[in-house]
A and B are shown apart, each in its own frame.
Chain A
Amino acid sequence: MAAVRTTGEVLRHRLAVVSLVVILFVMLAPILWITATAFKPRNLATTVPPTVFFTPEVSPFVKLMVKRSQLREKPTEEQLAAAPWWERLVLEGGEKVVRSGKGAVQPSGYPSRFLNSLIVATVSTVLAVSMGTITAYGFSRFKVKGEDDWLFFILSTRMLPPVVVAIPMFLMYRAVGLNDTHLGLIILYTAFNLSFSVWLMKGFIDEIPKEYEDAALVDGYTRMQAFFKIVLPEAATGIAATAVFCFITAWNEYAFALIMTNKRAQTAPPFIPSQIGSGLPDWTVIAAGTVLFLLPVAIFTFLLRNHLLRGMSFGAIRK
């Protein structure tokens, strides 16, 4: 950055900052809205005009996690006194927590859906990125016959809109028993992300000078060792970026999850809106589910931010 600035530059700089702030606010508004709703009392969730100031509550989150049923009459004083704090929040909302015969609290459908999302997105990301990296390495470092055709073929798997193949996929899955299984979704998302991962990683690996591996080879390492000790660390930035993209795609995927799963392996995206239909919609609970759903991607991206931001241009190769 230039140390000396003219007045015009300063002005332009300030304008840029102001417009960025405005854009940022516009972009973040939905997230602010949904987060606020997740902490609102139920009666303030849908007021017109929207309530901006309110006392935040955690009851939507409690309700999100446990199985509830409507109370016919108001909870009694003893009931309230006997209940732990979180159960009291549910009771005050005119609902009761469903317990099993032995008195154990029954969870709602959300925690298992959330866990499914985590499992499916994580495993498919790991698979897509690792397979993509190895494939990209092969394309980048070795002469592959018909390399361009292969790469085009790999990319072409992404050219069809996914919805088009949803029905055939569904029939196939039903035939082989992959319907509503984690494995089924993992295979689907891995396949879906793989082409993307190969292409992205090829770009990154092409950037790593071949001499690094050559140096390792003459220093007594095998190609496999050179790959793990040199190429992988050098490609960390690319792997992080690819992983974030794959994770986001798998985490947010809706159409296939809706069609292929209904209970055991259902992920959060099709589950959250399905709650709207059951009984009177409690928007605060839906908002709470959405807010929690946003967190993993945010955390994941945050953890990898250094890799994502670090430029590729810090090598010690003279060109």
Chain B
Amino acid sequence: MSPRIELERVNKHFGPVHVINDVNLTVQEREFVVFLGQSGCGKTTTLRAIAGLETIDSGAIRIAGRAVQDTRPEERDIAFVFQSFALYPHLTVYENMAFPLRATRTPRDEVDRTVRRVAEVLQTSHLLKRRPSALSGGDLQRVAIGRALVRQPKAMLMDEPIGSLDAKLREEMRVELKRLHVEQGSTTIYVTHDQIEAMALADRIVVMHAGVLQQVGSPEEVYANPVNLFVAQFVGSPVMNVAEVSVTGQDGAARVTVAGAAEGFVFPAALIDRLSVAGAADKPLSLGIRPEALEITLAPQDGAIPVEAHLIEPLGSHDIVDLKMGPGFLRARTRAGLVPGPGTQVWVRADAGRAHFFDSGSGQSLGVRL
């Protein structure tokens, strides 16, 4: 039975740095949770605290209902894949993978069977006799995961296990990790700073920033309803456009004008009511809109405003076009080759249903959706 992992008001300081700030989180049985955050936001520290490699200042950590914050790592029955792999250089791959089993005095033939079976699953059978120094990055990663799997752990903690691989290998590994999780069903916490990896793997994503959990939710939820500007701009690629805007009523519609721009996007009039219900009528507002929610046409059309295309990034399947708007730019996603070149006059329309409004001061989402 895979355990549930609970963090309750966990705090941790490194000197003056508040590395884990009042974190509450419940990871359900068999769930795959991804910690997503920038470098240095405390992901590794949180994971190490769960594993018992780092003490916490206050709060409780429960694994399968049992409070473990004061127990030693070896008593927690958790497997850990390290950011650095941490394969022992003086042992062969086989011995590295057998190492956790030897701790529990597993009979020799069972060790052998388990190691070979796991090696089979991870396609590392041909590497068993080698030493870690003779392995490629991808192989090292497989072996590191293999070492975590041999014990058939109830819970797996993985710290950016594929962070150092090249893009193609990463994609392959992602699929494999997902498959392994489906097969093994162990409760997994996975750390990454790559939001695509997080979206692809997670049952739920936990977005962290400076030791604080920003948002916990399914990938779709985090993507579609970011709770604040940090999450909005951290999840999704290319990054969500965010601009200070003013909202005015005009001709039975709402006009959302980027500060400094000549013309505003046309939104349904209901926006004005909803904003005042949300108590944002006279606060500085930010509009957040993802590039794919901006529609570009070469000819004028209803509700579209004219802008000048600036830079065009051709990405094969689609283009990303920078549009000059006020003092800055908005980035829009278009069909490949739609905009012929920089300087083209185009018309842009915002999809009101996919627009987000944030309180510029606090960065919090106003929860206003159309």
The interface of chain A, by Cβ under 8 A from chain B, is 209, 211-212, 214-222, 225, 230, 233-234, 236, 314-319
Q: Given the known A-B contacts A218-B74, A221-B103, A316-B135, are A234 and B82 also in contact in the complex, defined by CB atoms under 8 Å? A: no
| Residues of B within 8 A of A (CB-CB), count | 33
Listed by A's residue number, 21 A-B pairs whose Cβ atoms lie within 8 Å are: A209-B86, A212-B86, A214-B48, A214-B53, A214-B80, A215-B147, A217-B52, A218-B73, A221-B74, A221-B103, A222-B72, A222-B74, A233-B90, A234-B88, A234-B89, A234-B90, A315-B89, A316-B88, A316-B131, A316-B133, A318-B164
Task: Please pick, from B84, B87, B132, B151, the residue contacting A219 in the complex, using a CB distance under 8 A.
Answer: B151
Quick check: A218 and B80 within 8 Å, CB to CB?
yes
In the complex, B339 has a CB within 8 A of chain A: no
Inter-chain pairs besides A218-B53, A222-B74, A315-B132, 9 sampled, C-beta below 8 Å: A214-B48, A216-B103, A218-B73, A219-B103, A220-B100, A225-B103, A234-B89, A316-B89, A316-B133
Report the Cα distance A193→B86, complex, angstroms. Answer: 33
Quick check: A316 and B90 within 8 Å, CB to CB?
no
Q: Given the known A-B contacts A211-B84, A318-B84, A318-B137, are A218 and B51 also in contact in the complex, defined by CB atoms under 8 Å? A: yes
Query: Nearest chain A CB to B242's CB is how many angstroms away?
Result: 35
Within 8 A of A (CB), among B138-180: 140, 147, 151, 164
In the complex, B85 has a CB within 8 A of chain A: yes
Which A residues are CB-close (under 8 A) to B77?
Answer: 220
Report the Cα distance A222→B99, complex, angstroms. Answer: 13
Task: Please pick, from A209, A217, A236, the residue contacting B72 in the complex, using a CB distance under 8 A.
Answer: A217
**Chain B residue at smallest Cβ distance from A223:** B72
Quick check: A218 and B76 within 8 Å, CB to CB?
yes
Which B residues are CB-close (under 8 A) to A225?
Answer: 103
Quick check: B164 and A218 within 8 Å, CB to CB?
no
Which A residues are CB-close (under 8 A) to B72?
Answer: 217, 222
In the complex, B232 has a CB within 8 A of chain A: no
In the complex, B78 has a CB within 8 A of chain A: yes
Quick check: A214 and B82 within 8 Å, CB to CB?
yes
**Chain A residue at smallest Cβ distance from B164:** A318
Task: Please pick, from A214, A219, A234, A317, the residue contacting B99 in the complex, using a CB distance under 8 A.
Answer: A219
In the complex, B250 has a CB within 8 A of chain A: no
In the complex, B104 has a CB within 8 A of chain A: yes
Q: Given the known A-B contacts A214-B80, A215-B80, A217-B74, are A316 and B85 also in contact in the complex, defined by CB atoms under 8 Å? A: yes
In the complex, B79 has a CB within 8 A of chain A: yes
Which B residues are CB-close (under 8 A) to A212?
Answer: 86, 88
Which B residues are CB-close (under 8 A) to A215?
Answer: 80, 82, 86, 88, 147
Which A residues are CB-close (under 8 A) to B88?
Answer: 212, 215, 230, 233-234, 316
Which A residues are CB-close (under 8 A) to B164?
Answer: 318
- Between B51, B74, B137, the greatest number of chain A beta carbons within 10 A of the residue's beta carbon is seen for B74
Quick check: B103 and A220 within 8 Å, CB to CB?
yes
Query: Nearest chain A CB to B214's CB is how many angstroms away?
Result: 28
Which A residues are CB-close (under 8 A) to B48?
Answer: 214
Quick check: A211 and B103 within 8 Å, CB to CB?
no
Report the Cα distance A230→B133, complex, angstroms. Answer: 16
Which B residues are CB-close (under 8 A) to A230?
Answer: 88
**Chain B residue at smallest Cβ distance from A214:** B53
Query: Nearest chain A CB to B149's CB is how many angstroms away?
Result: 12
Report the Cα distance A30→B76, complex, angstroms. Answer: 63
Report the Cα distance A214→B135, complex, angstroms. Answer: 22
5 tightest A-B contacts by CB? A316-B132, A220-B103, A211-B86, A219-B100, A217-B73
Quick check: A209 and B84 within 8 Å, CB to CB?
yes
Query: Nearest chain A CB to B191's CB is how many angstroms away?
Result: 14
**Chain B residue at smallest Cβ distance from A219:** B100
Which B residues are CB-close (under 8 A) to A211?
Answer: 82, 84, 86
Report the Cα distance A225→B83, complex, angstroms. Answer: 23
**Chain B residue at smallest Cβ distance from A233:** B90
Query: Nearest chain A CB to B131's CB is how many angstroms away?
Result: 8
Query: Nearest chain A CB to B3's CB is how many angstroms away?
Result: 15
Which B residues are CB-close (under 8 A) to A318?
Answer: 84-85, 137, 140, 164
Report the Cα distance A217→B86, complex, angstroms. Answer: 12
Proximity string of chain B (266-289) to chain A, C-beta cutoff 8 Å, 1 when within and 0 when not: 000000000000000000000000
Quick check: B78 and A218 within 8 Å, CB to CB?
yes
Report the Cα distance A9→B151, complex, angstroms. Answer: 55
Query: Nearest chain B CB to A66's CB is how many angstroms away?
Result: 48
Which B residues are CB-close (under 8 A) to A220?
Answer: 74, 77, 100, 103-104, 151
Report the Cα distance A222→B51, complex, angstroms. Answer: 14
